[in-house]
Amino acid sequence: MSITINIPEKIYHTLEQQAHKREMESVEQFLEKLTEQFEREEVEAWSEELKRRREVGKEIRAFRQQMKEKYGVMPDSTEIIREDRMRG
């Protein structure tokens, strides 16, 4: 599918120059490669975000383990809260 857009000549010539600099035959080819690069960068950024989240998860698990070793297993507070509410 093709779409025609109007852009200033100056911008078109800049795109043309960039395409020729990279030994590409057309502005269209340049824009396709540029789009692919943007998509790759987006995937890489998301990959880094997932990596960061996994690291935070590891840190949380390590912290929980430290607390368990230091204080032992803490009882569930649900019953205590329920009793407090019943007393009013």
Residue range 37-73, pLDDT digits in tens: 999 999 999 999 999 999 999 999 999 999 999 999 8
Using an 8 Å Cβ cutoff, are 19 and 7 in contact?
A: no
Distances (CA, A) of 9 to 28, 29, 30: 15, 18, 16
Q: pTM of the prediction?
A: 0.57
The proportion of the chain whose per-residue pLDDT surpasses 70, expressed as a percent, equals 100
Three state DSSP letters for the chain: CCCCCCCCHHHHHHHHHHHHHCCCCCHHHHHHHHHHHHHHHHHHHHHHHHHHHHHHHHHHHHHHHHHHHHHCCCCCCHHHHHHHHHHC
